Structure 1
Amino acid sequence: MGDMTDQSAARRTDARFMAEALALGDSRLGFTGPNPSVGCLIVRDDGDGPRVVGAAATAPGGRPHAETQALSLAGPLARGATAYVTLEPCSHHGRTPPCAEALIAAGVARVVIALVDPDSRVSGRGIAMLEAAGIAVETGVEREAAAQALEAYLFRKHHGRPFVTLKLAVSADGMIGRLGDGQVAITGPDARTFVHQLRARSDAILVGIRTAIADNPALTVRLPGLEERSPLRIVLDARLELPVTSVLARTARQVPTLVIGGETAAGEAQEPAPRQRALEELGVEVLGCDPRRLDLLLPALATRGVSSLLVEGGARTATAFLEAGLVDRILLLTAPTHVGAGGIEAPIVRDTIPAGFTHRDSTWLGPDRLDRYDLERTL
């Protein structure tokens, strides 16, 4: 009975510290591309109960990794300690030495891992390195929570493209805006705060050129303290019509901006080169490919380390992604406001969600309703 009680207590301790490591990783979600946002704790027990002596998440831009930062904070206290890591430590030499080697060199006695890394360069090799060095390894602790936290990264590794979330704000009369009026406030402040939080957790955000011209959006995170979390901004723009006076173009040196289009995409002799040069002089990157070929674009984004893609507008772009079967989650914000005459009809509303999507939950954000629908798909 005593052994069973001890084992149960040990499992609870592992689950508690892994939950803390997951929270650390979650705090950097969308900010660590091309690498996943991993959390790591170094926990030591000298007989007076376990205590955290080092804690870190993957640094902005993906390096340094969580493990090396946590080990540095722990210093000599890492020897004989337990490391809790949300994703299998890397085993390959990239720009930095493998994290598995760092854990071995630090002398940790045990490593607890939530998920095995599906990256072909790792995928069990990190675990094998640790075990070969005599370190006790346990995997699968808080596996489901970790799979949810690292959902987009795992999806990219399994499917070779980003996890796509389509976000739509729809009025009570089924509109997403009004022709010729630029940006129209559909939802209230609580919903807008949610959208900025969503942007801060995404690797990239995408709109079509019609939305970019009509709304002249910034597509940035404008919450206090999170401004630096603005994701890569992408515009589907076959003829390179994005104005050099647009907010997106004028701020491209502050927030990365990628335009998909050009002569190759349009297939027309309209001399796009001067427009391309003008955009590039402002810091906009132009990728000359057909923006209609989403099946080619998304894998190309994946090779850049984009794991999560937020599609925000407009109706044509949303429809294109839906018809191509390239939407994995729909976030539908329905507001009590009415747009009325001249409204732009939403491509979907709650009653017209495409087949294959399952309603997961509903949340109220002030007067606005948020419904989440997930495509049924096995990773």
Structure 2
Amino acid sequence: MRRALELAEQYRGRTSPNPIVGAVIVDRAGKVIAEGAHKGPGNKHGEAEALAKLGGKAPGGTLYVNLEPCTHQGRTPPCTPAVIASGVARVVIGSQDPFPGHGGGIAALRKAKIKVDRALVAESDAANRPFLTWAREERAAFTLKAAITLDGKIATVGGESQWITGEAARADVHRLRDLHDAVLVGVDTVIADDPRLSARLPGARDPVRVVVDSMLRTPPSSQLLPRKKGPRTIIATTSRAPAAKENALVKAGAEVWRFDAGTKRVPLKYLAMELADQGILSVLVEGGGEVHASLLASGLADEVVLYIAPKLVGGPAPSWVGGKGIRKLAEAYGLTFEGPPVLVGEDLKIRAVRKIR
């Protein structure tokens, strides 16, 4: 199963709205005889690709796949009938597919007298967190990312923020952008830093850019706007924003999404749902602190990735989480560390995920 997950991981950021899926088939003696992975919408699913390498037949074999074989007809045929027809004696599955109309593969396999086991369930669920979030909550999944000092600051008291972390950490951020469907920032970050939000690595592809901007303060000259050839850029705003500003941003290549939720702020829950409807399931959030705070308060922060530099700045410098804060520790946002800390150059990278209560 670990090999199936490795195969699936090769196509992270390329399969949405589909999950990442890898498959390994072994013969009766336990020898690997075929492997496969889903490469993106319209391509064979992982188990179907592996079976195709064997002419669709694997009598007496065992199939390892990190997601329950599907039973629905989409752009490609359902996988479960092909698995049954292959003659495999056993299927080992990671995650169950909770998406309405997709599941049922486990029951169908058992009905066909094929032995079904589960393995590496937690690891498989973590690998497809965006897909499972969409299936269960009908929204995109958000990863909050920040580069901070040891005392949790994202800039000095004078506003200087470039660069807190070293080159290796910044390169790793570009890798994260490549692996997510979109990268999101607040308008204050756009005004302060004028970021490109691109993935500047060999072979990388730029994610969709999303700006949360309730009054359309994004300058039409911003580097992240696509003009005629850049990556897709979405400005999420409210019905209160001036039409003239929308026209200027549209001329610069942006899509403007207006939300009317009766508040002064962009309703992040509805934005999350609309992104998922557009097939954008994984979103890397790069600040600022108010956006991070709003996502945490809305229960939309699914993962946190922090790059911690061995530096201290002190004073009332800005933190990576803004907002009003909380008064009682019992009200703190609960997270669970996922994996050990990792040194990236001179900086420390830590990951944590939302604690499910």
Contact 2:216-2:241 at 8 Å conserved across structures: no
Which of residues 244, 247, 250 in structure 2 aligns to 1:274?
Answer: 247
| Aligned pairs, number | 346
Identity %: 36
Q: Matches of residues 1-379 of structure 1 in structure 2 within 5 Å?
A: 18-45=1-28, 49-61=29-41, 63-75=43-55, 77-123=57-103, 125-132=104-111, 134-172=112-150, 174-177=152-155, 184-225=162-203, 227-228=204-205, 230-250=206-226, 253-261=229-237, 265-279=238-252, 282=253, 284-289=254-259, 292-337=266-311, 344-347=318-321, 355-358=332-335, 360=337, 361-378=340-357
- Partner residue of 1:6? none
| Larger helix share, 1 or 2 | 1
Structure 1 window deviating more from structure 2 (334-343 vs 153-162): it is 334-343
Deviations 1:262-298, CA, capped at 9 Å, x for gaps: xxx141554345224303xx3x332222562112111
Amino acid at match of 1:357: G
User: Which structure 1 residue ranges, 5 or more long, are not aligned?
Assistant: 1-17
Alpha-carbon distance change, 103 to 174 in structure 1, aligned in 2, over 3 angstroms: closer
Contact 1:35-1:62 at 8 Å conserved across structures: no
CA RMSD of aligned residues (A): 3.1
State the 1:343 CA deviation. Answer: 5.3
User: Which structure 2 residue ranges, 5 or more long, are not aligned?
Assistant: none
Partner Cα distance (2:160, 2:233) in 1: 21
What's the TM-score once normalised by structure 1's chain length?
0.79
Amino acid at match of 1:295: K
Partner Cα distance (1:185, 1:252) in 2: 31
SS of aligned partner of 2:155? strand
Partner Cα distance (2:222, 2:249) in 1: 14
Contact 2:215-2:242 at 8 Å conserved across structures: no
Alpha-carbon distance change, 332 to 62 in structure 1, aligned in 2, over 3 angstroms: farther
What's the TM-score once normalised by structure 2's chain length?
0.83
Amino acid at match of 2:153: M
State the 1:105 CA deviation. Answer: 4.0
Alpha-carbon distance change, 323 to 365 in structure 1, aligned in 2, over 3 angstroms: same
State the 1:56 CA deviation. Answer: 1.7
